Amino acid sequence: MVKVAICGGSGYTGAELLRMLRLHPKVEITAVTSEKSAGKRVTDLFPHLVGYEHLVYEQLDRAELVAKADLFFLALPHAASQEAVDFFYRKNKKVIDLSADFRLASPETYEEWYKTPHHYTETLKRAVYGLPELYRKQIRKARLIANPGCYPTSAILALAPALKKGLIDPETLVVDSKSGTSGAGRKADLSIAFCEVNEGFKAYGIAAHRHTPEIEQEISKLAGKEIALNFTPHLVPMDRGILTTAYGRLTARIDAETVLKIYRKAYGDEPFVHVLENGVLPNTKFVRGSNHCMVGVKVNPRTNTLIMVAAIDNLVKGASGQAIQNMNIMLGFEETTGIQHLGMYP
Amino acid sequence: MVKVAICGGSGYTGAELLRMLRLHPKVEITAVTSEKSAGKRVTDLFPHLVGYEHLVYEQLDRAELVAKADLFFLALPHAASQEAVDFFYRKNKKVIDLSADFRLASPETYEEWYKTPHHYTETLKRAVYGLPELYRKQIRKARLIANPGCYPTSAILALAPALKKGLIDPETLVVDSKSGTSGAGRKADLSIAFCEVNEGFKAYGIAAHRHTPEIEQEISKLAGKEIALNFTPHLVPMDRGILTTAYGRLTARIDAETVLKIYRKAYGDEPFVHVLENGVLPNTKFVRGSNHCMVGVKVNPRTNTLIMVAAIDNLVKGASGQAIQNMNIMLGFEETTGIQHLGMYP
Amino acid sequence: MVKVAICGGSGYTGAELLRMLRLHPKVEITAVTSEKSAGKRVTDLFPHLVGYEHLVYEQLDRAELVAKADLFFLALPHAASQEAVDFFYRKNKKVIDLSADFRLASPETYEEWYKTPHHYTETLKRAVYGLPELYRKQIRKARLIANPGCYPTSAILALAPALKKGLIDPETLVVDSKSGTSGAGRKADLSIAFCEVNEGFKAYGIAAHRHTPEIEQEISKLAGKEIALNFTPHLVPMDRGILTTAYGRLTARIDAETVLKIYRKAYGDEPFVHVLENGVLPNTKFVRGSNHCMVGVKVNPRTNTLIMVAAIDNLVKGASGQAIQNMNIMLGFEETTGIQHLGMYP
Amino acid sequence: MVKVAICGGSGYTGAELLRMLRLHPKVEITAVTSEKSAGKRVTDLFPHLVGYEHLVYEQLDRAELVAKADLFFLALPHAASQEAVDFFYRKNKKVIDLSADFRLASPETYEEWYKTPHHYTETLKRAVYGLPELYRKQIRKARLIANPGCYPTSAILALAPALKKGLIDPETLVVDSKSGTSGAGRKADLSIAFCEVNEGFKAYGIAAHRHTPEIEQEISKLAGKEIALNFTPHLVPMDRGILTTAYGRLTARIDAETVLKIYRKAYGDEPFVHVLENGVLPNTKFVRGSNHCMVGVKVNPRTNTLIMVAAIDNLVKGASGQAIQNMNIMLGFEETTGIQHLGMYP
């Protein structure tokens, strides 16, 4: 049994780690931290986590924690995560960071978008971007994983095969994403109060959302040149799920079936990415609670545009599920261990 | 008191006409039809329509109806509307058609997208596209109004000032729209069952939705050339509201404030279109139940793209409210009569 | 035009007063207060309140406010309302208090349930409980209205005719109520965050909710003796609406149609209370956004129990709409002025 | 590997059986039937059921099916289930019937409430009511399980310990239940269309719901005499979950802590029933997607009433999860196999 600690376990991603690791046969949770809820039991905050009655939140005392676990999940706010990641990494622990702090290879880009400097640029160089579909080999050998953001996971999985094959002009990309409200985190905030969100739909952070440079970093690698794209997130009145609708001008005439073949080849052996049949489009409801990602495409011959659609659960494939997937790869476990469960429908 | 009849009064748009006309001081509803519910009282179907206890649905018997009213609202399915519109129009009645049958000036385009021929091309020539912000003068003199579709209303209001001024390249348009479920109508259909829609989000009809040629028709006029665009509708788990996020490559460097000035000038005197301040974006929740439309814009200087966002209530400004607005203009009433009420929040 | 001020205008009930008074032809809003939002425009907080762009929140400076209006709506938190009510009342203003501070005739009961003493017991004696269906005559002559709570409005309207006629044993009452989330107010609070409320259903405050003594006070008057009842509120994942299901053991064998006749007689001329036909039951969706209340009953002959069900919109008939109804009665206006609009469906 | 067939696999309970059995290590699904969807793949109807791409719906041909499996789950409509149950039972198969056909021991009561006679009264005598918390011993030896209804499961688990100990007077019971919409099944029906259900709350089937005699049957056994109770179901605008609030007059003065001790003793070893601490109340959101049931109680000393609250997921502990629990008991597996997963929150 590998000993695992969760730093920042009182938010939704922390709770999701606990929910899923409960059924993981090779992992034991030895500590969970929360500054605000230290001293409380996990089940005081989350009565649904039946079986965790004896696990009590503690302060994030790094010196004390380091001896308790071999692998650390960090679900801390960005900026706050930097120091803790660096600390555990230097103590030769395996670290999976769910914050944004180690996702951007360029410390300058990080500072530009997150308005705070990066203090651990040496450790940053060791970080592997934890998208298994692109970086499985590197993850296998890594000790520090920067777990991807929720929007980037959906956008990159939607775009990757088309960009890699040069099907679309990367200068024309529009990424229009829609997320459930859990993406905003678990907090007392008027803007996510039930009556403010329910029965409403809005865009936010247009051309300014911090996931933009993360998507651009990966897209640029795939396209082989520096790409800036249009990214617009929207808030959906539902708990979970991200649907990303991406548009790119086709570089040549092609039909949907041919595009789908390329996608199927790209994702053929992937346990969690599923290319839908021609005419079928993803729905976030198909992946709710699961680590699966569904991708569909459509060609608009009238505008010569490829429309790519991907659906994930933002808290699972977009956060905690992918983190466990990365853990499985790092530790040499079967990649699907503990995250094989299917989506909940309805 | 002008006598008004509603043909097709058992759907959501019919019910909305009844809800709003209840407070209209210059109109009297003399008949309402429904094939399936003939003989039932309006309040049997819609208990919320307090005060309509004595109004009973009747069959759509045109010969009998024609004497009962001076103005006819037709909320019938497309194709079924053609003949009724033609009939009442030829009987010298005023007609406001909420179906799609008289929106497309080209009968060929109509047949191509609706898979049924147009049998009344002479009457079609008399129809005025009932978007008051573009065609108020023509509406004033019209006897037949083709009431715009819900998606087109939001898309055209979002795009019009930018296209008219040549701010954006019309060859690069992406129109990504999101609609509440009432847009699908009131019917027994598994695909709109609560548990199929709730807590889910999906795209549908990509590059194939019938509102595409309607948007293109109006956009092409504004752009001064034939335009094909990318239009993707999505289904939001909420009752009402459409948010349209539209993207167009800027033809020159410009900032948001300058764009907003152009928008404010374009919509300055409009009673129902409101241009939000720089940095503020529309939310469908701000217009729920009302005839208002809110528009916001954002410039992405990194991609030189203009992002335009518009929010309406699909059943009001996107259907029945706009129909009443058109009626007010046609009949010489104050344009806001009966539709001055504000959105319901929360 | 009567000059009206709203103290506490940044919550949902304040916003609802503004929404509905916009269409009231005999009232002018001269001031609106908010401690937190002083200096901001009403439309900065509530973009849906189109037309209020020039109304700016101010501090609640009583000395300054008193000259600005003839009638004051107070939508302040309980306890905070006491002093303001007393002040404006003594200045010979008309006051409609939406807080709980003047609803309970007994200061002792008030202190017992609200854990704070009542400092204005003389003014308390002048307050009339503003349920028009029971106290229309007294409201007409009143200068101080204690506007009823949302749960009590639904419970009392459901129970009153049966209790008055002695149909049910008041010692056996169970009042099981379910409310939309707007009843919790507009605030930053984790317990009403979207993801905490959505897709969940719970009871709260069982046998301890502060509306209990308010219901008991009115029920006891109707029953002619001191009654304690079981009251359980529940939280429904929706914005608006209260449904109350009340149970009472029948004192004699009776059928539903006979009970309904008694109810219809009791509410026959009421503009806002509607007794449904035998077999039809209320739905909060039928009254959403409106001042209407719908009541239905059912007899269970197997247990000899009467089940009474009432639906209201908690923010309208349960708060701001009823406050305007009370204003209309006090000022001698037609009782339905400004609140005639129908529910929004869907 | 035990071979299992599912008759009626195109509804929500069928899909839930498939979802959960996917992770059951000792069971193999050899057939799944659907009259309407015969010939389609499971994943055509339910794309979330990843891994079932090769399972195809077939007609319910009993003669052919009988050889394919050792245990049959029947998720057919009531009445339609009778004959199939009898057939497989007589063929010496193990049968778990999720319909209502074998729940009521009295064929007369069945006919009275379901308006159809029971044709297999001999087989009916062999059926065991599959509530493990009451009948585990009998289930172990049974070959035919009548899987309990969703409302009865929640009501009986809420009431059982109090009734068994005589804490409450069984003549005074009120059972007020609230269910998510999936309880209505998966079908094209206007009454469960999204826009008809969302943002609304209603009671239905008061004093007439078919789960009434089922609850009464079990309550009567616990109380030791024939009991009729008041049962009111309500429809909640959410997908899943039942909350039952039950009221009973206390037979003696007692406090909540003492009642809770009795409940804890009653459910002490139960893997799926959890008695909450004093002051904590269940929320359907705590059990969503899981087989857990949470129970809380409150004493109202002012009315001397015990209020009991239970929450379950209607599709899991209220249907398919309980069916698998019963299967595990019948087959001698660890009772929690395949249904150990926790609730999904949010």
Query: DSSP assignment, residue A149?
Result: P
How far apart CA C336 and CA C291 sit, in angstroms, is 9
Q: Does B288 touch chain A (CB under 8 A)?
A: yes
Residue type, A273: V
Structural tokens at position A263: 């996608």
Distance separating alpha carbons of residues A56 and A68, to the nearest angstrom: 14
Q: Quick one: A150-314 is in which CATH superfamily?
A: Dihydrodipicolinate Reductase; domain 2 (3.30.360.10)
- Tell me if D237 and B182 make a contact (CB, 8 A cut-off): no
Query: Would you call A23 an interface residue with chain B, using a CB distance cutoff of 8 Å?
Result: no
Q: Residue A47: which of D22, D286, D341 has the nearest Cβ?
A: D286
Note the pLDDT tens digit of each residue in B183-218: 999 999 999 999 999 999 999 999 999 999 999 999
- Using pLDDT thresholds of 50, 70 and 90, give the confidence band for residue A48: very high
pLDDT at position D75, please?
Answer: 97
Residue D171: φ, ψ to 5°: -80, -5
Query: Is B308 within 8 Å of B162 (Cβ atoms)?
Result: yes
The whole-angstrom separation of Cα C173 and Cα D31 is 52
Whether the predicted model's global pTM rises above the 0.90 cut: yes
Q: In a 3-state reduction of DSSP, which class is residue A93?
A: coil
Q: Are D59 and D10 in contact (CB under 8 A)?
A: no
Residue type, D258: T
Query: Is the Cβ of B186 closer than 8 Å to some Cβ of chain D?
Result: yes
Give the model's pLDDT for residue C115.
97
Cβ neighbors of A265 (< 8 A, separation 6 or more) are A161
Task: Pick the closest to residue A270 from A100, A132, A102 (CA basis).
Answer: A132
Predicted pLDDT at D41: 98
The per-residue pLDDT for B219 is 97
Q: Which pLDDT score, from 0 to 100, does residue B227 have?
A: 97
Average pLDDT rounded to a whole number, residues D258-285: 97
Closest to A124 measured CA to CA, from A86, A70, A88, A98: A86
By Cβ distance, the residue of D195, D241, D307 closest to C201 is D241
Of B22, B49, B343, nearest to C48 by CB-CB distance is B343
DSSP C120-172: -HHHHHH-EE--HHHHHHHHHH-SEEEPPPHHHHHHHHHHHHHHHTT-B-GGG
pLDDT band per the 50, 70, 90 thresholds, residue C251: very high
Convert the pLDDT of each residue in D36-77 to its tens digit: 999 999 999 999 999 999 999 999 999 999 999 999 999 999
B129-171: pLDDT as tens digits: 999 999 999 999 999 999 999 999 999 999 999 999 999 999 9
The pLDDT tens digits for B114-134 are 999 999 999 999 999 999 999
What pLDDT score does C154 carry?
Answer: 98
Mean pLDDT throughout C127-143? 98
Residue C264's CB is within 10 A of a number of other CB atoms, namely: 15
Pick the closest to residue A139 from A326, A344, A3 (CA basis). Answer: A326
Residue B247 confidence (pLDDT): 98
- Count other C-beta atoms under 10 Å from residue A205's C-beta: 16
Percent residues over pLDDT 90 in chain C: 100
- The residues near A117 (Cβ < 8 Å, ≥ 6 apart) are A107, A111
CA dihedral C266, C271, C273, C278 (to 10 degrees): 80
Average pLDDT of the residues in A171-182: 98
CA nearest C346 in A: which residue?
A199
The widest CA-to-CA distance across chain A, in whole angstroms, is 63
Q: Mutating which of C199, C288, C305, C313 best tests the D interface, going by the most D Cβ atoms within 10 A? A: C199
Q: Do A294 and D240 make contact, defined as CB atoms within 8 angstroms?
A: no
Interatomic CA distance for residues B172 and D13, integer angstroms: 47
Q: What is the pLDDT of residue D100?
A: 98
Structure confidence by residue, pLDDT tens digits, D136-165: 999 999 999 999 999 999 999 999 999 999
| Integer Cα distance of C321 and C336 in angstroms | 10
The whole-number average pLDDT for the span C252-257 is 97
Instruction: Please tell me the number of Cα atoms within 13 Å of A138 on its side-chain side.
Output: 14
- Give the pLDDT band of residue C318 (cuts 50, 70, 90): very high
Average pLDDT over residues A256-265: 98
Q: What are the tens digits of pLDDT across the range D182-194?
A: 999 999 999 999 9
Residue B45 banded pLDDT, cuts 50, 70, 90: very high
Residue-wise DSSP of B26-79? TEEEEEEE-TTTTTSBHHHH-TT-TT-TT-B-B---HHHHTTT-SEEEE-PPTT
The proportion of chain B whose per-residue pLDDT surpasses 70, expressed as a percent, equals 100
Tell me: the pLDDT tens digits for A56-97? 999 999 999 999 999 999 999 999 999 999 999 999 999 999
| Confidence at residue D272, expressed as pLDDT on a 0 to 100 scale | 98
Question: What does the pLDDT read at residue C244?
Answer: 98
Provide mean pLDDT across the span A244-264. Answer: 98
Distance from the Cα of A4 to chain B's closest Cα (Å) equals 32
Distance CA A276, CA A279 (A): 8
Residues of D serving a catalytic function are 150
**DSSP string of A207-271?**
TT-THHHHHHHHHHHHHTS----EEEEEE-SSSS-EEEEEEEEBSS---HHHHHHHHHHHHTT-S
Q: Do residues A309 and A281 touch, judged by C-beta distance below 8 A?
A: yes
Tell me, yes or no, if D298 comes closer than 8 A to chain A by beta carbon: no
pLDDT band at A306 (very low <50, low <70, confident <90, very high): very high
The pLDDT tens digits for C211-225 are 999 999 999 999 999
Rounded distance, CA D230 to CA C62, Å? 52
Segments making up each domain of chain A, as ranges: 2-126, 150-314
Q: Exposed/middle/buried for A67, CB within 10 Å: 0-12, 13-18, 19+?
A: exposed
- Rounded to the nearest angstrom, the minimum Cα separation between C247 and chain D is 8
Burial tier of D270 (Cβ tally within 10 Å: 0-12, 13-18, 19+): middle
Percent of chain C with pLDDT over 70: 100
Question: What's the pLDDT at B325?
Answer: 98
Residue B275 banded pLDDT, cuts 50, 70, 90? very high
Q: Write down the CATH superfamily of domain B2-126.
A: NAD(P)-binding Rossmann-like Domain (3.40.50.720)
ipTM higher than threshold 0.85: yes
Residue-wise pLDDT tens digits, A115-167: 999 999 999 999 999 999 999 999 999 999 999 999 999 999 999 999 999 99
Q: Which amino acid is at A4?
A: V
Neighbours of C286 (CB within 10 A): 26
Report pLDDT for D35. Answer: 95
**D221 touches B at CB < 8 Å:** no
Quickly tell me which residue has 């094959």 as its tokens: A165
